[in-house]
Structure 1
Amino acid sequence: MDNIKNYSFTVLDRFMKYVTIDTQSDPYSETTPSTEKQKNLGRLLVEELQQMGIADAELDEYGYVYATVPSTTEKDVPVICFCSHMDTSPDCSGAGVVPLIHRNYQKQDLILPDDPAQVLRLKDHPDLRSQMGNDIITASGTTLLGADNKAGLAEIMDAANFLISHPEIKHGTIRLLFTPDEEIGRGVDKVNLEKLGAKYAYTVDGETCGSVENETFSADYALLKVKGVSAHPGFAKGNMESALKIVSEIVSFLPKDRLSPESTSDKEGFIHPVAIRGTVEEASVEFILRDFDEKELVNHERILKAIAEEVLEGYPNSSFTLEVKEQYRNMKLVLDDHPDVIRFAEEAIRRAGLQPKRQSIRGGTDGSRLSFMGLPCPNIFAGEHAFHGKQEWVSVQDMQKAVETIVNIAIVWEELTL
């Protein structure tokens, strides 16, 4: 599209600003949003949207941003939504992010200056092979970057800016949704779908340039609690059964050559302990269970229970409970019934000069839950890589291609809607 080829992208400036705002979510908080500081970014986004001329932009009490890019066509086009999340992962600090631009990448090692031990090497980041001549953005070495998902935020904002400033481009009504707490699995807990009013949606939270993701893990959360027997350590022989040691033994019995994140890839699922807490008398382990096949999730639960039962046989005076809760399900089950959502995204990617790549996500996204809430929602690329760690990176050129793709999706829906 000629208009966007000559467009002065704002995505870089927006991104460099957004990543400096600490929006880390907190899985142990019971509030929504889990951290009040996420609203700091929400308020900035609303201010920028209003400056574009989007008068209805608002931040609600739960930290969600809603806004509308009005229709420019007489056709009856389904309302579509573009969604990204404002929070960053609690796995790595997001405070005091110093973004750096490494211009004209030539496959060299990228040493992050605030911690020279953090080095982006081509052998460790094979996606850098496609970035020759591009401008790579990293953090300075002591924090994550926040491209997950502030790249998506900046891309949607720039696409909105482009469409508002080019009313001659035909598209239907577009809704924007920016969510808190996605990284802790609560990104759509308080979303108001009636207020949103969209029929289809796209999360902009993917990795490789040109990818569209129509499949995620199905996910459960498991909490295993052990009640042991406490005794004074000086007189514990024959009496003490330490709950801490029991849960540690259970974790040590988990398979190491399969069913773990360290030993699986592609569509292989896993049982993953994420936290241990407790005392001699009572201790617990939190697990995440993941698989693309929902039936396998049940099998993962059985394996975990069987390990606990076997371990507890050696502790006759102790007991355990296992509680499993559903987190989200594979969005492919919904998206297969709405093929145009994927087809239109792939056409938009082609129009951006890219070859679309249909991929699966070894993880989750707001789109998983939105799809099962009645809003079919695949995920398109934002260009983010190595997320949740200090070597996270994104390229300026990939972000610009994402902006172009978002604009193209809006155009394609208008063109191809009968």
Structure 2
Amino acid sequence: MINKNKLIDKFISYVKIDTQSDPESSSTPSTEKQWDLANKLVEELKEMGMQDVTIDEHAYVMASLPANVAHKVPVIGFVSHFDTTPDFSGTNVNPQIIDKYDGKDIILNKKKNIVLSPDYFEDLEQYKGQTIITTDGTTLLGADDKAGITEIMTAMQYLIDNPQIEHGEIRICFTPDEEIGRGAHKFDVKKFGAEWAYTMDGSQVGELEYENFNAAGAVVKIFGKSVHPGYAKDKMINSQYIAQDFISSLPRLETPEHTEGRQGFFHLSKMQGDVEETTLHYIIRDHDKEHFEARKKMMLDLGREICEQYERECVQIEIKDQYFNMKEKVEPVKHIVDLAEKAMKAVHVKPIIKPIRGGTDGAQLSYMGLPCPNIFAGGHHFHGKYEYVPVESMIKATEVIVKIAELTSEKYKKENL
């Protein structure tokens, strides 16, 4: 049995450490404070008896649990990230533990009247009677992805404490800067040495994902002409109005708040400007590669059309690909997904196989030669004050890790007979 109280204590110790990443920084990790948790994990791994514990100059933490069987078993891995999103504060996280949740509204912050309600967040209803960890309404929680880290650490300790469970060599890695799209950029796949791995970075219990968005980021710079408003007739060009035209010319219903499933979108994530210059930051997402390329072309074509309209080079667009759909790399080794599905069923978790409306380190790692499906970590409503995680979901994720290790050994034991 997984020790519930120890798992809770471990998780809370991690989320209390501020590890917010910074997209404006060019260093890796992008913030110095990410080292605080990275170094803590290194010490804990050594104390629990993991082998080959390393941390490199970019804060990537790796460790091994040696095989306890004589037969040949492929090296498998588990990966999570320790940074939290820059979209919402991760400073002074103060988790609240709701024991035996009664299915009613949860008061996150009475003073600010912040309520986590099943009337709005219907997913809460499925966790009635369970233990839920929430925020205090002023920060995010950090279950993305400190729940995944907790589960991997707890699973490794469980395997160490229960040597009767047969397994091959297991490699683990904790990465920085996943939330700003760089989690795998400096990941040493060769050093990691696994044949395949799993990111523990999904949401609700049962999620198993091996499809994700193709992703790009776009920076749109729009240039106007600033003239004294009293003498601006036929001279001033207000870049903010051009920006407004650009925004409204993209498909209004193809935005995150209007799409689901495999539907792609354009997302205006940030804008700032004045008369002279306005900058728009977009992310572009689509599961289908052809649709993805068409979205990028649409944006570039729109920029050219506006330039023609104003008869000047008033729009500059830079688009950079970020990651691609891992399905192309995972499908040829689909048995690794089947193994995870079997493990879930073995611990009484109903698999929910669906595409990720986002990305994980696993997407990039799959293209770097490490096929890497994504497994639930248990949290809900990441990146904001309504984030929460049921403890029972974290326990189930831990059990899935253990069972994957056991089933992998069992599978290859049969093949070696």
Q: TM-score, normalised by structure 2?
A: 0.95
Give the structure 2 partner of residue 247 of structure 1: 243
Match of 1:65 among 55, 61, 67: 61
2:373 equivalent to 1:354 = no
2:208 equivalent to 1:221 = no
2:162 equivalent to 1:166 = yes
Aligned with 1:56: secondary structure? strand
Q: Distance in 1 between matches of 2:181 and 2:391?
A: 28
Alignment of 1:200-215 (within 5 A): 200-215=196-211
2:232 equivalent to 1:236 = yes
2:277 equivalent to 1:291 = no
Contact kept, 8 Å, 1:115 with 1:141, in 2: the verdict is: no
Q: Specify the code of the residue in structure 2 equivalent to 1:43.
A: N
Give the structure 2 partner of residue 23 of structure 1: 19
Match of 2:366 among 368, 371, 392: 371
Q: Residue 271 and residue 75 in structure 1: after superposition, are their counterparts in 2 closer, same or farther (change >3 A)? A: same
Give the structure 1 partner of residue 101 of structure 2: 105
Q: Distance in 1 between matches of 2:266 and 2:114?
A: 29
Alignment of 1:270-349 (within 5 A): 270-349=265-344
State the Cα distance separating 1:55 from its structure 2 match. 4.1
Q: Residue 374 and residue 114 in structure 1: after superposition, are their counterparts in 2 closer, same or farther (change >3 A)? A: farther
Any idea what the Cα deviations from partners look like across 1:219-266, whole Å, max 9, x if unmatched?
Answer: 11122222322333332221121223322321133222x211111111
State the Cα distance separating 1:401 from its structure 2 match. 0.6
Q: Specify the code of the residue in structure 2 equivalent to 1:262.
A: E
2:93 equivalent to 1:118 = no
Contact kept, 8 Å, 1:226 with 1:246, in 2: the verdict is: yes
Q: Specify the code of the residue in structure 2 equivalent to 1:37.
A: K
Give the structure 1 partner of residue 171 of structure 2: 175
State the Cα distance separating 1:301 from its structure 2 match. 1.8
State the Cα distance separating 1:318 from its structure 2 match. 4.4
Q: Specify the code of the residue in structure 2 equivalent to 1:326.
A: D
Contact kept, 8 Å, 1:103 with 1:136, in 2: the verdict is: yes
Question: Which stretch shows the higher mean deviation, 361-370 or 50-59?
Answer: 50-59
What residue ranges of structure 1 are gaps of 5+ in the alignment?
Answer: none
Q: Distance in 1 between matches of 2:266 and 2:135?
A: 31
State the Cα distance separating 1:44 from its structure 2 match. 0.7
Give the structure 2 partner of residue 389 of structure 1: 384
Q: Distance in 1 between matches of 2:303 and 2:286?
A: 21
Q: Distance in 2 between matches of 1:75 and 1:284?
A: 58
Contact kept, 8 Å, 1:81 with 1:200, in 2: the verdict is: yes
Give the structure 2 partner of residue 44 of structure 1: 40
State the Cα distance separating 1:54 from its structure 2 match. 1.7
Match of 1:93 among 84, 89, 105: 89
Q: Distance in 1 between matches of 2:53 and 2:110?
A: 38
Q: Distance in 2 between matches of 1:156 and 1:50?
A: 15
Contact kept, 8 Å, 1:9 with 1:158, in 2: the verdict is: no
Identity %: 46
State the Cα distance separating 1:321 from its structure 2 match. 2.3
Q: Distance in 1 between matches of 2:382 and 2:94?
A: 16
Any idea what the Cα deviations from partners look like across 1:249-287, whole Å, max 9, x if unmatched?
Answer: 21133222x211111111110011112234433332121
Match of 1:263 among 238, 258, 265: 258
State the Cα distance separating 1:186 from its structure 2 match. 0.3
Q: Residue 115 and residue 57 in structure 1: after superposition, are their counterparts in 2 closer, same or farther (change >3 A)? A: farther
Give the structure 2 partner of residue 56 of structure 1: 52
Q: Distance in 2 between matches of 1:314 and 1:114?
A: 53
Question: Which stretch shows the higher mean deviation, 111-120 or 372-381?
Answer: 111-120
Question: Which stretch shows the higher mean deviation, 328-337 or 217-226?
Answer: 217-226
State the Cα distance separating 1:210 from its structure 2 match. 1.6
User: Aligned residues, how many?
Assistant: 413
Question: Which stretch shows the higher mean deviation, 238-247 or 168-177?
Answer: 238-247
2:403 equivalent to 1:399 = no
Give the structure 2 partner of residue 129 of structure 1: 125
Q: Residue 168 and residue 306 in structure 1: after superposition, are their counterparts in 2 closer, same or farther (change >3 A)? A: same
Q: Specify the code of the residue in structure 2 equivalent to 1:27.
A: P
Contact kept, 8 Å, 1:23 with 1:87, in 2: the verdict is: yes
Q: Distance in 1 between matches of 2:38 and 2:389?
A: 22
What residue ranges of structure 2 are gaps of 5+ in the alignment?
Answer: none
State the Cα distance separating 1:29 from its structure 2 match. 0.5
Alignment of 1:139-158 (within 5 A): 139-158=135-154
CA RMSD of aligned residues (A): 1.6
